[in-house]
Structure 1
Amino acid sequence: MNVKKITLNVLFVLGVVSGMGAQEIRYFFELAETNNPELRALRLRHDLAGEKVNEARALPDTEIGAGVFVSEPETRTGAQVVRFSVRQMLPWFGQITARENFASSMAEVEYLDWVIARRQLRLEVAQAYYRLQALRQQIGILEQQAVLLDSYREVALAAVEAGKASAVDVLRLEIRKNDVTARSQVLENQYESGAFAFFRLINATETAIGFMVTELPGELPEPDPPVLGPHPELEKYDRLFASVAREEVLNRKSAAPKIGLGLDYIPVAERTDMVIPDSGKDIVMPMVSFSFPLFRSPYKSRTRQNEFRQAALEAEENARRNRLEGMLQQAWQGQRSARVRFATLTENSQNTRQAIEILLKNYQTQQADFGDLLEMQEMELKLELERTEAFASYLSQGALVNYLVAQPGL
């Protein structure tokens, strides 16, 4: 599949949780579903399974034969020269319908494989999208920190010129700014690699990406307790149960007799040595045949195999349901924990900002140590970076919850 070249101007808005990036995510979902080669392969497999339904309607091959008598048998009406025959076997009543039903059930399983893969792709796209948001937000925080350190440098220089501070304070600021610049560059590299992986995920080539990042929200809503709904991974087992049941019906129909219809035609040469009634009259012989399995052990074995399949599928379904329910609870609890952590970090960040303002005023009047100011500034930076991570975790866990509880068609 050719890679689609596009120009993307992405607006990442972190201010409103419920509507954050909704339009962009929907666009990326559609783009990924259109371009993803795995989804295309699964769609083709579903189409292939649908064609097998048409194949199931077909009758066995018709047999046509012809033979020449090496030694022509003489009959009262003349010599038999050649023989033509045609045969058609017919399955027992209901066998074709059973084959169609079984093929249709397998096509339904292939369709659910496509639905599951599409939901998993949406989950991967959403989580990668939120990781990129967090990185872009953290880069913005570090850039703001660099600007703030520049303003502190002006304050420190003024204090040094007035003889109220030491030049060591200015050097501390230079060291801190170099550290902030290096951390920002590291995040830029991580963002570039993450963006590359993101566009490979949606199988598109980006030519331009623009971001506008706003402030994080003040608080996050409390997520409601989720309930595992009719998930396609569980619905797939229903289809598999149905396919095994239909396979057993087909097995029983296959054990029934088969009917064969045929016709033999033998041209007869006219007799030249005498004149008799019906001389040279051709022979037409309709035929009916039956075939039935004398040895039924293969069909009995398939019945036992289908019973084993049903039992195995039931155990697999229970295990998968337990796993999905466990994942759902973990995702919900992870989302709640991220919300609590985000609220705590937000409050601590606000308190730290107030402490910084007090220390800055005291420093200007020689009532505070510059090291305390820088330490508190580093604490605020750490809190703000952790806030972005908590916010991204909240959204990422929410995407997983949505994957588990959304309707199968979504």
Structure 2
Amino acid sequence: MKNTLIILCLLFVSAFAKAQQLQAYIDEAQSNNPDIQAFELRYNRAEEKVNEADWIPNTEISAGYFLSTPETRTGAQRARIGVKQMLPWFGTITARENYATSMADTEYVEIAIAKRKLALSVSQSYYRLYAIRAKQEVLEENIQLLNTYERLALTSVEVGKASAVDVLRLQIRQNEMQQKKEVLEEEFIAEQTVFNNLLNKEKNALITIPTEMNIPEIDSIKTLEGLALNPELLKYDKLYESVAQSELLNQREGLPTIGFGVDYLPVSERTDAFPSDNGKDILMPMVSVSIPIFNNRYKSISKQNELRQQEINLQKDERLNVLESAFAKAISQHNQSRIAYNTQAKNLKQAKDAEQILIKNYETGTIDFNDVLDIQELQLKFELNQVESIQMYYIQSALINYLIN
């Protein structure tokens, strides 16, 4: 019991260390990836538009000089200087700022989506790298096993219990495995470049990969409850809210605007008469109202906003269907990986039992190297399938985490 607890503790510590290493790579990728940085700049730009929304129309300043001066009772008007400021209706600027804020919130969700997708890509590439290295180790172990068989075959040839053909078959099989191992090395180099590009690092930068991974005996229950919080769906909620804010802004912009101003007219003194207020300048305060009588534009925008919200709801429903389908497929492949892994484990045990029987037969003086090659091929197949099952299990786990966590 004590030994079992020690083993379980070691497995837990190992799994935690692997998860920490992968998370460190994900954090590094999210900090360095140019695509994420571009999304963050878009968000910063959207945030700055909130400040841009706090504006009022330009102040109008006008000036004119009378070429033919109009005469008044108090003197001739020489010029006219005016200042006017139009102001939007109460609450228009706030509505404009709220709309800009809602658009910034939409951009922020895009950052969350991009980070999730990047984390998924990093995780999947990480597990592909593990699978390639694990397959190479399997091939190396089988090459060493064939070396052992080759020595047995050479000994049998010397005593006349095997032919040179058996030796050549074993050597051919070793050559095939060596070829597969070298091909996998090329695949690793290519995947290493993919992984490091995701982290925006040198393509040949060293990557720490676990030497061993296993499928846990028990999985936590995965449900669709977390899917509603997926940023890909939250994006549509933010878009819907931005359209609602756009409609509030449209309603405010459809209201009158008010203008305040003042005109100043300098007046020359009369020399032919001396009335009261002779030569007194004129100061004329003014108030103006701009009324959108022909408001078809605002009605059309309201209709467009209504249609846009209906479109967003339909898009969200469609995206939800796609994500639910992806979740169901990921859960299915996740479970298939476990089934395949357990089956390959049973098959591998039986293949090793068969291998032991062949070795014992050799000790009694009888061995069929055709059987040796057949068992070795089966053993290799089962081991490689196990690695692929582990790879598929963790890749689907990463996809499930992307969807619901």
Report the TM-score, using the length of structure 2 for normalisation: 0.92
Aligned CA distance change for structure 1 residues 214 and 14 (closer, same or farther; 3 Å)? farther
**1:266 equivalent in alignment to 2:269:** no
Task: Please list the CA deviations of residues 278-313 of structure 1 after superposition, one character each: whole Å capped at 9, or x if unmatched.
Answer: 222211111000011111211111111111111111
Distance 1:390 1:172, change over 3 A: same
1:179 to 2:176 alignment: yes
| In 2, Cα distance between equivalents of 1:321 and 1:257 | 42
Equivalent in 211, 214, 231 of residue 214 of structure 1: 211
Tell me, yes or no, if structure 1 residue 330 matches structure 2 residue 312: no
Q: What residue in structure 1 maps to residue 298 of structure 2?
A: 299
Do 2:99 and 2:246's aligned partners in 1 also have CA atoms closer than 8 Å?
yes
Alpha-carbon contact 2:257-2:289 (below 8 Å) kept:
yes
Say whether residues 1:94 and 2:91 are aligned partners: yes
Task: Check 1:16–1:382 CA distance in 2 against 1; reply closer, same or farther (3 A cut).
Answer: farther
1:377 deviates by 0.4
Deviations 1:23-81 (A, max 9, x none): 22122112211121211111111111111111111111111111122222222222222
CA 341–126 in structure 1, closer or farther in 2 if over 3 Å, else same: same
Q: Using the TM superposition, give the Cα deviation of residue 208 of structure 1 relative to its aligned residue in structure 2, in angstroms.
A: 4.3
What is the match of residue 189 of structure 1?
Answer: 186
1:381 counterpart residue number: 380
Residue 224 (structure 2) aligns with: 227
Amino acid at match of 1:143: E
Larger mean Cα displacement after TM superposition, 23-32 or 89-98: 23-32
Q: Partners of 1:20 and 1:398 in 2: how far apart?
A: 17
What is the letter of the counterpart of residue 63 of structure 1? E
Displacement of 1:86 in angstroms is 1.0
- Contact persistence 1:63–1:87 (CA under 8 A): yes
8 Å contact from structure 1 (residues 17, 217) kept in 2: no
Q: Which runs of 5+ in 1 are unaligned?
A: 1-12
Between the aligned partners of 1:282 and 1:383, the Cα distance in structure 2 is: 104
| Contact 1:261 1:289 survives alignment (8 Å) | yes
Distance in 1 (alpha carbons) for counterparts of 2:43 and 2:386: 44
Task: Judge which range, 274-283 or 23-32, deviates more.
Answer: 274-283
Q: CA deviation at 1:102?
A: 1.0
Amino acid aligned to 1:35: N
Q: Deviations over 1:316-351 (max 9, x none)?
A: 111111111111111111111101111111111111
Alignment correspondent of 1:58 = 55
| Partners of 2:51 and 2:209 in 1: CA distance | 54
What is the alpha-carbon distance in structure 1 between the residues aligned to residue 382 and residue 187 of structure 2?
Answer: 20
* Superposition RMSD in Å: 2.0
**Matching of residue 130 in structure 1 with residue 110 in structure 2:** no
Please, what TM-score do these two structures have when normalized by structure 1? Answer: 0.91
1:68 equivalent in alignment to 2:65:
yes
Matches of 1:332 and 1:128, distance apart in 2? 20
In the alignment, the residues of structure 1 paired with residue 208 and residue 78 of structure 2 have an alpha-carbon distance, to the nearest angstrom, of 89
Q: Which residue of 1 aligns with 2:116?
A: 119
Tell me whether 17-26 or 389-398 shows the greater mean CA deviation: 17-26
1:106: how far off? 0.8
Tell me the SS of whatever aligns to 2:242.
helix
How far apart are the structure 1 equivalents of 2:210 and 2:234? 40
Deviations 1:94-151 (A, max 9, x none): 1111111111111111110111111011111101110111001111111111122112
CA pair 193-206 structure 1, distance change in 2 beyond 3 A: closer
- The one-letter code of the counterpart of 2:143 is A
2:19 aligned partner:
22
For residues 32 and 125 of structure 1, the distance between their equivalents in structure 2, rounded to whole angstroms, comes to 8
The CA deviation at 1:213 is 5.1
Distance 1:50 1:275, change over 3 A: same
Q: 1:319 to 1:208 in 2, by over 3 A?
A: closer
Residue type of the alignment partner of 1:42: F
Question: Are residues 1:156 and 2:153 paired?
Answer: yes
Structure-2 change in CA distance of 1:14 and 1:71 (3 Å)? farther
Secondary structure class of the residue paired with 1:21:
helix
Percent identity over the alignment is: 46
Q: Is the 8 A contact 1:17 1:220 kept in 2?
A: no
**Is the alpha carbon distance of 1:299 and 1:212 closer, same or farther for their aligned partners in structure 2, counting shifts above 3 Å?**
closer
Cα displacement (A) at 1:16 = 7.4
What's 2:6 paired with? none
- Aligned position for 1:248: 247
More helix by share: 2
For structure 2, the 5+ residue unaligned runs are 1-9
